[in-house]
Amino acid sequence: MQQKYKYIESFCGAGGLGLGLHQAGFEIGTAFDLNEAAVLTYQKNLSENCFIADASKLTGQELMEKAEVNYGELALFAGGPPCQGFSKQKRGAHLGDDERNKLVLEYVRLVKEIQPRFFLLENVAMLGQKRGTYFIEALKNELQEYVLHPHFYNSADYGLAQTRQRFIIVGKHKSIQTDFNIPSPTVSKWKTVGEILGSLPEPPVDHRQEHPDIPNHQRSNVTEKNLERFSYVPQGGGWRDIPYDLRLECHKNADTSKGGWPDVYGRLKWDGQAPTITGGFDSFTRGRYGHPLQNRPLTPREAALLQGFPVNYKFFGNRHEVRHQIGNAVPPLLAKAIGEEIKNCLLIEEESLNSSNLQVAISTK
């Protein structure tokens, strides 16, 4: 009988990574995060096996007991600890050189204490930077029992209408002989913003009201002046399209031929893709977060759909908390693609082991 593949999720947030892994066929053992609102979102949508905790105060043994697994049995340990303190100027590739790496050190400690068959580390804050190489070398020094598979993933390749890039490291325990493969794109053609948002009705005009049938579908409170400014912006345009007399003072004297944060007051393209959805998506003054057809910023529901969450996945907390839960999430469809490759690797390994055991049993008869 095929065994269950359980995972433990650290720094789980609202559950983007967890949802994708669950869709890939993994069973949630337990999950934790320090943010109370994010944990509530996870509990209400995914699993009650999620709790509020500080990683530095947890042991691997406690997590294994909650997940009901023994040392070395866990299929996957996943999570996204911040590690902003790793610098290319640091010599010797040591993770402990900077206080800001405290949480990634806790993640590494828990991996060592649990010894999962795979680990997944995401949200490493050094995309495209040389110091990413130093980080990987330091991680290799800390986790010598694992083979690392770092890769840059474009979310649009995995079914999102968003070109968000994620740098994710998959670690495979050296006892596993089967190769792990970076998942191939799951779509041959990138989806568009219009395909994702097209069937959604408009939210109530009053920004204080949520749509009665669609959770988190609610307007931002935007001034009339900003709405007027944005009304002049075409799809794909930005602040440079606003008439001079309506522009912000800082834009009136800006050079329109270069620089100047072109995405500010930016409007999305209906037949294009969104840029990275961040926690600032509810204001077009923070980037290209204006609705393609309506004179307003994206609602939390629209941002969540562009992140790949289902329409009924409800986020809990105040506006600030909900924004950041959505903006910080790993796109579930990307997590699912990686999870399926990890599970496939485990299945092949299990079949190979069973076949070897059968051959041994036959030969000893």
Domain membership of residue 194 (yes or no) is no
Give the list of residues 6+ apart from residue 258 with CB closer than 8 angstroms, or none: none
The average pLDDT across 71-95 equals 73
Q: Please state, rounded to an integer, the average pLDDT across all residues of the chain.
A: 90
Residue 2 pLDDT > 70: no
Query: DSSP H helical segments within the chain, as ranges?
Result: 16-23, 36-45, 60-67, 102-114, 131-142, 193-197, 224-231, 249-252, 300-306, 319-328, 332-363
In whole angstroms, give the CA distance from residue 23 to residue 80: 19
For 27-70, the pLDDT digits (tens) are 999 999 999 999 999 999 999 999 999 999 999 999 999 999 99
Q: Which residues belong to the active site? A: 83
**pLDDT grade, residue 81 (50/70/90)?**
confident
Asked if residue 161 is part of any domain, the answer here is yes
Residue 239 lies in a domain: no
Residues 6+ away with beta carbon under 8 Å from 31? 8, 9, 10, 12, 15, 18, 42, 46, 47, 49, 50, 51
Structural domain boundaries enclosing 182: 6-188+329-363
For the question of whether the overall pTM of this predicted structure is more than 0.85, the answer is yes
In a domain, 44, yes or no: yes
Q: What is the CATH number of the domain that holds 40?
A: 3.40.50.150
Q: Is residue 168 part of a domain?
A: yes
pLDDT at 95: 63
Residue 83 lies in a domain: yes
Q: Which two tokens stand for residue 133?
A: 């190489």
pLDDT at 298 over 60: yes
Q: What is the pLDDT of residues 195-238, one digit of tens each?
A: 999 999 999 999 999 999 999 999 999 999 999 999 999 999 99
Domain total for the chain? 1
Look at residue 103 in the predicted model and tell me its pLDDT: 87
Query: Is residue 355 one of the residues assigned to a domain?
Result: yes
Residue 86 has pLDDT above 80, yes or no: no
Is residue 152 within a helix (H) or strand (E), and if so which, with residue range?
strand 146-154
Residue 320 lies in a domain: no
Rounded Cα–Cα distance for residues 231 and 233 (Å): 6
